[in-house]
Amino acid sequence: MITSSLLESISGPTIRARVWRGLTQTGARGRTLAEHRAILDALAAHNPEVARSWATVHIAGVEQWLASVP
């Protein structure tokens, strides 16, 4: 399945960073789940603009965290 392959290619190289974020940043797991849920809900509601906005929020938060990690 194309979606599965895409997710694997994206998530594989970042697994250590995601685990580290979950261990070191307070609330990261809950925030990530909430952001993913918001993206999924927007897609289910056929609202791509809202999904895109939530995806941007999510990615921006990850980028901000990555920039702050020594």
* Tokens 């509601």, located at residue: 45
Predicted TM-score (pTM) of this structure = 0.74
Q: What is the pLDDT of residue 40?
A: 94
Which residues of the chain are under the pLDDT cut of 50? Answer: 1
Q: What is the pLDDT of residues 52-62, one digit of tens each?
A: 999 999 989 88
Question: CB neighbours of 55 closer than 8 A, spacing ≥ 6?
Answer: 39
Distances (CA, A) of 63 to 1, 30, 46: 28, 17, 27
